[in-house]
Structure 1
Amino acid sequence: MSIIRDGENTDLALGAKLFRGLGDPTRLAILRTLAGGERRVVDLVGEIGTSQPNISGHLACLKDCGLVTDRPQGRAVFYALATPELFDVLRSAESLLEATGHQIALCPNFEEGVS
């Protein structure tokens, strides 16, 4: 007997896909930075401290998934969070980490590089 109703498998898979997208430290850093407002790639490189190709690749991924939008202005392109709900998810995650971060840090099931 399954406790998952029809259609829930799809919803769960979609939710898992979202959290895998948020599970990369660089993408999470980009989103957290964009929560403070629009940024160009060069701004993100300076604030996050990684290479331009790395930032650009992660931005392309986030944009393909509909989590980030871009706005050309002259020769510059500004990136922003696509929806305010994403900011709410990030804020909720930070609250959860405040409450359980020490347990998550000690959890042997989710070590870095192990999935």
Structure 2
Amino acid sequence: MNQKKKMQDEISAELYAKFFHGLSNPTRLKIVQSLLGKEKNVSELVQELGIKQSQISNQLACLKWCGYVDARQEGKYVYYQIKDERIREILRLATEVVGDNAAHISECTRM
């Protein structure tokens, strides 16, 4: 493998890892899962998830920047929704994989 191809593969692997890292934070994952049902504002997410407003807002900023969610303003409220329908499919597939392997995943000491 030539040096240029090897460097591209490393960059690609880092980028994919970062993408999955976006969903590896429990707060971000809970927010995304909550938004699968319908769009919500920060107050609704705080009430539903029981997480501090500052944490929700911080994680929403990350999710929005990286393209997982989008926002629209209505009056004084900002409503967040899933930006790309493929995120729904990724989470659906993850649910299936976790369901099939939950015992092993929960006992894994290497991650």
Same fold (TM over 0.5): yes
Corresponding residue of 1:101: 102
Alpha-carbon distance, 1:21 to partner? 1.2
Equivalent AA in structure 2 for residue 104 of structure 1 = I
**Matched residue count:** 108
Amino acid at match of 1:77: V
- Give the SS at the match of 2:49: helix
The alignment status of 1:51 with 2:52, answered yes or no, reads yes
Letter in 2 for 1:51: K
Q: Structure 1 residues 7-16 or 74-83, which shifts more?
A: 7-16
How is 1:4-43 mapped onto 2 (pairs within 5 angstroms)? 5-6=5-6, 7-43=8-44
Report how far residue 15 of structure 1 moved: 0.7
Q: Distance in 2 between matches of 1:42 and 1:94?
A: 27
Aligned structure 1 segments of 4 or more residues deviating by more than 4 angstroms:
none
CA distance in 1, matches of 2:70, 2:18: 19
Distance in 1 (CA, whole Å) between partners of 2:101 and 2:74 is 42
AA aligned to 2:49 is I
Structure 1 residues 6-15 or 97-106, which shifts more? 6-15
TM-score of the two chains, using structure 2 as the length reference: 0.91
- In structure 1, runs of 5+ residues without a counterpart are 111-115
Distance 1:92 1:9 in 2: 25
Report the alpha carbon displacement of residue 101 of structure 1 after superposing the two structures with TM.
Answer: 1.1
Cα shift at 1:11: 1.9
Gaps of 5+ in 2: none
Provide TM-score, normalisation by structure 1: 0.88
In the other structure, the counterpart of 1:113 is none
CA distance in 2, matches of 1:85, 1:13: 20
1:87 equivalenced with 2:95 (yes/no): no
